[in-house]
Amino acid sequence: HWDGNSASELPAPFAPLDLPPPEEYFQRKVALISGITGQDGSYLTEFLLEKGYTVHGIIRRSSSFNTGRLHHLYEDQHERPNKFHLHYGDLTDSTALVFLMARILPTEVYNLGAQSHVKVSFSLAEYTADVDAIGTLRLLDAIRTCGLTKHCRFYQASTSELYGLVQEVPQSETTPFYPRSPYGVAKLYAYWITINYREAYGMYAVNGILFNHESPRRGRTFVTRKITRAVAEIHENKQACLWLGNLDAQRDWGHARDYIEGMWLMLQGQGLDLNAGQAPTDFVLATGETHPVREFVEKAFGVVGVTLAWSGSGVDEEARDVKTGKVVVKVDPQYFRPAEVELLLGNPAKAERMLGWKRQVKFDELVKEMVEADLTAVRNFVEDQN
Ligand code: NDP
Ligand code: GDR
């Protein structure tokens, strides 16, 4: 009798016949990036091209252009022919992922693709789970299906949103998780399936638990960029007031460019003795500082010489420009979340010790760079898609 447990395991379809021998395989430096059109994807592409990688990116079909952050890389194509490729695909489409994996035969896969907006995840909970949780499984399974478990390293974009409701401060790789949004819960599945595939199939698969990181390329619906764009618009008399939600939330904000390097370091085996069988491990990337949203607002207005005076509290809180007396910041409860993550503060000691990674850009420098970039954009009437 069949005991219900012993179905035959077939070898993966492409292994090992269609693969180049490992020595030859690993001489290639070929990255596949999901989420290449996002903030992090664009910086990572620049970084990897500089390092001599061939970069393949997965883009979604969209009715408008979603490649604004990559245009400059296309323009550089003649300097690096055949080094940068975009392919249509989607984390909800397993067939496309397997097809791309089998054709590209990457040496490193970076899973940055996600429905990444926490507030939106409350409206699109099922979709967020499909892309952020099951999408990660689909990508890992595409690697396995193609027989690449030993040939390809995998980076998962995990997040400080896993910590959610405060259990411990500062938060490190050993802090318990308590996600507070459908986004956080979906990313929790992705975190564990990455570890499971590492343990079950011996894959080099790691989680980077990254705290918030920002830049002039940050999407405009995230709070930092919403603020810096509004400061520029208000300064140029194109907008009257900035409407925000929870001003008390505290975040550990770094610069995206610094965090990209950390992602790459995690896949290079830094600090690990792989020959001695040491398993890959997960890392927190953070600055080790936290700041309330209110402080980000003050600093951003400070860059254009505006001092704020706050009054009221809760939904009635507002801020006036001390010189003009005009109200320039108000609270709108529509931006509150059904459940909030009040405090994030990361401890990056493990990454500093094992990867030699350290953030370079300080909080004030980040705010200044973002406001100045938005001022230039507003003055030049640049309506970016970010
Ligand atoms: P963005 O929102 O800027 O970019 C998300 C990317 O995912 C975009 O390229 C988007 O494509 C793509 N994407 C969305 N849905 C799908 C899908 N169904 N299939 C394939 N691709 C899809 O995010 P960031 O660059 O800021 O973040 C990168 C990753 O890191 C995300 O996974 C995010 O959750 C995570 N993260 C981010 C942090 C941060 O502070 N920035 C901190 C910790 C983790 P399109 O352009 O077409 O929308
Ligand atoms: P977060 O980033 O939720 O931390 O997720 P976001 O910038 O959206 O919010 C940060 C904090 O600011 C408060 N807030 C507002 N947020 C937005 N978006 N808009 C507002 O008007 C507003 N007013 C106040 C929020 O309530 C929150 O407390 C980001 C994303 O990049 C995730 O993908 C990533 O995993 C985490 O960072 C780490």
- What pLDDT, in 10s, does the model give residues 350-382? 999 999 999 999 999 999 999 999 999 999 987
Q: Is 175 noted as a catalytic residue in this protein? A: no
- What pLDDT, in 10s, does the model give residues 140-187? 999 999 989 999 999 999 999 999 999 999 999 999 999 999 999 999
Answer whether residue 204 is part of any domain: yes
Answer whether residue 356 is part of any domain: no
**Does residue 221 have a pLDDT over 90?**
yes
d(CA 359, CA 262): 9
Amino acid sitting at position 7: A
Ligand nearest to the CA of 209: 1
Which of 16-30, 39-53, 291-305, 310-324 is predicted with the least confidence, judged by mean pLDDT?
Answer: 16-30
Q: Is 317 noted as a catalytic residue in this protein? A: no
Whether residue 152 is found in the same domain as residue 275: yes
pLDDT classification of 385: cutoffs 50, 70, 90: low
Check if 113 has its Cβ closer than 6 Å to any atom of ligand 1.
yes
- What pLDDT, in 10s, does the model give residues 251-277? 999 999 999 999 999 999 988 888 888
Q: What is the pLDDT of residue 240?
A: 97
Q: What is the pLDDT of residue 16?
A: 54
Q: Which atom of ligand 1 is nearest to the CA of 256?
A: 41
Answer whether residue 268 is part of any domain: yes
Percent of the chain whose pLDDT exceeds 70 = 97
Whether residue 165 is found in the same domain as residue 261: yes
Answer whether residue 300 is part of any domain: yes
Whether residue 157 is found in the same domain as residue 191: yes
Q: Which residues contact 128 (CB under 8 A, 6 or more apart)?
A: 115, 120, 121, 182, 183, 186
CA 56 vs CA 22, 214, 324: distances in Å: 20, 24, 51
Answer whether residue 60 is part of any domain: yes
Domain of 366, CATH number, reads 3.90.25.10
d(CA 352, CA 39): 23
What is the residue range of 140's domain? 22-215+253-289
Whether residue 41 is found in the same domain as residue 146: yes
Whether residue 48 is found in the same domain as residue 108: yes
Number of domain units in the chain = 2
ipTM of the complex as predicted: 0.99
Catalytic residue from among 46, 108, 161, 261: 161
Whether residue 55 is found in the same domain as residue 150: yes
d(CA 47, CA 43): 6
CA 94 vs CA 13, 129, 156, 243, 336: distances in Å: 15, 15, 17, 40, 35
Q: What is the pLDDT of residue 81?
A: 77
Catalytic residue from among 159, 175, 194, 290: 159
Q: Whose CA is nearest to atom 9 of ligand 2?
A: 223
Please, what sign has the CA dihedral across residues 268, 271, 277, 280? negative
- Average pLDDT over the chain, rounded to an integer: 94
Q: Whose CA is nearest to atom 29 of ligand 1?
A: 112
Q: Whose CA is nearest to atom 27 of ligand 2?
A: 249
- DSSP per-residue string spanning 196-227: HHHHHH---EEEEEEPPEE-TTS-TTSHHHHH
Judged by DSSP in three states, 125 sits in helix
- What pLDDT, in 10s, does the model give residues 64-123? 999 999 999 877 667 777 899 999 999 999 999 999 999 999 999 999 999 999 999 999
